[in-house]
Amino acid sequence: MSAEQGLAQARPASTLRRRTLWSVLVLLVVAMLAMLVWLAGKYETAQVQGRLERDAAEAVSDVRAAFMRNVQSLQALQYGDPTPNSWAIDAAVFLHAHRELVRVEWRDSAMHVRSHVDTPFRTPVFDRVGRGNSQSEVVLACANARRFSGPAYAGSYFVPLTDGLGVEVLELCLPLERAGKLEGYLVATYSLQEVLEGLLARQVTRNYEISFTEGDGTRLALRGAARRGSRVFTAQQLMDLAGTTLVLRLDSWRGAPDLFPNVLTALVTAMSIALVSVMALLGKDTRRRHKAEHDLADALAFRKAMEDSLVTGLRARDLQGHITYVNPAFCQMVGFTDVELLGHSMPAPYWPPEFIDEYQQRQSIRLAGNLPPRAGFESTFMRKDGSRFPVLIIEAPLINAQGVQTGWMSAFLDISEQRRVEELSRTSQERLQATARLATVGEMASLLSHELNQPLAAISGYAAGSINLLQDGPQALVEFGPDLTLAMRRIAEQAERAGKVIKSVHDFVRRRDQVREAVAPQLLLEAILPLVNLQARKLRVRVQIEVGPDVPSVLCDRTMVEQVLLNLARNAMQAMDQPDIVERVLLMRVRRVRVGGSTKWLEFSVADIGVGIAPDVQQQLFNPFFTTRAEGMGLGLSLCRTVVEQHGGALVFEPHVPQGTVFIFTLPTGAVA
Ligand code: ADP
């Protein structure tokens, strides 16, 4: 399985696994973070609550200590047998120093008030309702005091004031004893509100809402503005007093600072945010990586499909000449598998043994860093079965992503088919030319027979005459010796003439290899002259030849150019074969001309004074098989143009003055003049 196929199949499974892992990770992290934040919040709450409880306990003990001190101070009022008046003066001083007390009374053992003082800080509390209304609490407190033989309190109660408000008060009763005998009572009335205002540390009153409450939560006295947040911490502390119990309540308006209650939580939260951000970045990175993987797999698949569909062989080699890559087309071309080829060094298994030296040399030139021709070069490779085939190789340096050359990449084209087609077309071209020549000869056969008739008739005449003379016996030899010798010489001459005619045809028809050679134009004309003359004599055409002075030789395939000249001469003579044309001249000229600034060209022209070429004929003159003659093939001119163009020249025609046509073609001059 190839890498990209594997990648493609593994993709769904790995995607599922990756998603599951990511979900689990995200869940775990979220759970962990939530727990951390919750624990931090919990810890914070516990801290606040603990401090609140501590502060409440401290507040209770502060109040208790103050109450104790007050009891002692009150007892001090009785020292030295005070008179009601002196007592009142001391009590007034005392009240001045203790705002929490609103009234102090000295009562006798029958609970009658002997003296009393109200606090100077407010209007007397009992003015509106009268002291009588609170008698029961006082009695209760004093009963408690008697029972405990010490200071005792009664439950607090509300006293309405004249200004429409009211005050919660607490009665303290101190039994006054002398030598174990009860002499009276000291009754002090606390204002709970003032207790909160005066007896608590400032720090407590500033930070909390502090209150005395009843068991059901009803507030009796309150200090501190209620700034209620969403979460209020509360601590309640019982304050046991002899005879009664007060509840001190502390409310902290520490409204849930909630998300970031303290540094710890803030730290945890910051770390959580960092963690989540890192996870998000990681996720993004994974997604990008996943996309890159996906794109890469696509690109690989695309490349593979492209390589597999190529008919061009591809091969890569490293700088040491080891094969590092071959595509299927290359393997198919040479018949080796990629396993056999990969890693192989020089000489490669597909090099024909006879070329190994040459190829090695070529490789060393390449590996030395010399660039091959851009258009490629041809070479011969060997298939695994030993058969050779021609290839076109195009090589280019292999440059990696860092811009460093790591080897060579070569593309191969099997050109055996192309070669075969070329060979085929060359053969058919040659065959066509041979056919055209034969056709020409066929046409000339009648002319030939006419031409041969003359020498043959002469030979036959001489031969008959000689036989006649020889019939007279041996003396005839003596008598007519010179005549017979002359007749024999004539016979020989005529036979030679006939032989020449036949040879000229034979020479022309004989197929020769295409070889370019430097030939004097004169020789070309002379070669076709016997054949031209054959027809000229028949058509009563005068043949005129003009070769310019110092005309150099022409570089050409001699047979082919002779064919061109013969064709043109023949066409010219046929054009003049009209009854009304009396003066029939065929003019063949050769001269040096200038083409494109170069003088290395010769111009051949064949002119007639025939009928000329009609415009509609002109259009199709060079089309193969176009002819106006009943016995014509129509191949002559098309062949002429092909031949001239193969030599690099051009064939044109133009009207001849005063009448007829002139065909002109150019050929390059040869090296030898
Ligand atoms: P073919 O000679 O077999 O007819 P060619 O290709 O040589 O074939 O000539 C094609 C035609 O071109 C001729 O049939 C003739 O009509 C015309 N042609 C060629 N040369 C001349 C010429 N010198 N004058 C007039 N017509 C010509």
Please name the residue that has the structure tokens 């594997």: 6
Residue 554: which domain range? 515-673
571 lines ligand 1 (CB under 6 A): yes
Report DSSP letters for 89-144, one per residue.
HHHHHHHHH-TTEEEEEEEETTS-EEEEEE-TTSS-GGGTT-GGGGHHHHHHHHHH
pLDDT for 672: 42
352 lines ligand 1 (CB under 6 A): no
Residues contacting 281, CB < 8 A, separation 6+: none
Q: Examine the domain organization and report whether 105 and 242 are in the same domain.
A: yes
End residue of a domain, out of 364, 387, 414: 414
Per-residue model confidence as pLDDT tens digits over 182-227: 889 999 999 999 998 888 877 777 778 889 988 787 888 888 766 6
Which ligand 1 atom sits nearest the alpha carbon of residue 439?
Answer: 3
Cβ density class 112-138: b for 16+ within 10 Å, e for less: eeebbbbbeeeeebbeeeebeebeebb
CATH number of the domain that residue 72 is part of: 3.30.450.20
End residue of a domain, out of 511, 545, 572: 511
pTM: 0.43
End residue of a domain, out of 511, 535, 563: 511
C-alpha 501 – ligand 1 centre gap (Å): 25
Residue 19 lies in a domain: no
Residue 37 lies in a domain: no
C-alpha 649 – ligand 1 centre gap (Å): 20
Residue 7 lies in a domain: no
Please name the residue that has the structure tokens 């009276």: 184
Q: Examine the domain organization and report whether 452 and 468 are in the same domain.
A: yes
Residues contacting 609, CB < 8 A, separation 6+: 576, 581, 583, 584, 585, 656, 658, 659, 660
Residue 77 lies in a domain: yes
Q: Examine the domain organization and report whether 395 and 381 are in the same domain.
A: yes
C-alpha 579 – ligand 1 centre gap (Å): 18
How many domains, in total, are found in the chain?
4
C-alpha 631 – ligand 1 centre gap (Å): 11
Q: Examine the domain organization and report whether 476 and 607 are in the same domain.
A: no
32 lines ligand 1 (CB under 6 A): no
Q: Examine the domain organization and report whether 188 and 92 are in the same domain.
A: yes
Residue 47 lies in a domain: no
Q: Examine the domain organization and report whether 98 and 230 are in the same domain.
A: yes
Q: What angle do CA 31, 37, 39 make, to 5 degrees?
A: 100
C-alpha 622 – ligand 1 centre gap (Å): 9
pLDDT for 187: 93
Residue 304 lies in a domain: no
What span, in angstroms and rounded, lies between the C-alpha atoms of 315 and 395?
9
CATH number of the domain that residue 632 is part of: 3.30.565.10
C-alpha 571 – ligand 1 centre gap (Å): 5
pLDDT for 673: 37
619 lines ligand 1 (CB under 6 A): no
Residue 353: DSSP 8-state: G
Report, as ranges of residue numbers, the positions in the chain whose pLDDT lies below 70. Answer: 1-12, 225-231, 253-265, 369, 372-375, 440-451, 504-505, 507-514, 596-599, 671-673
Residue 9 lies in a domain: no
- Angle, nearest 10°, between helix axes 636-646 and 558-575? 140
633 lines ligand 1 (CB under 6 A): yes
Q: Examine the domain organization and report whether 539 and 482 are in the same domain.
A: no
Which ligand 1 atom sits nearest the alpha carbon of residue 606?
Answer: 23
Residue 42 lies in a domain: no
628 lines ligand 1 (CB under 6 A): yes
608 lines ligand 1 (CB under 6 A): yes
Select from 407, 398, 356, 403 the least CA-distant residue to 379: 356
439 lines ligand 1 (CB under 6 A): no
Q: Examine the domain organization and report whether 363 and 479 are in the same domain.
A: no
Q: Examine the domain organization and report whether 568 and 607 are in the same domain.
A: yes
Q: Examine the domain organization and report whether 561 and 603 are in the same domain.
A: yes
C-alpha 431 – ligand 1 centre gap (Å): 22
Q: Examine the domain organization and report whether 344 and 456 are in the same domain.
A: no
Q: Examine the domain organization and report whether 105 and 211 are in the same domain.
A: yes
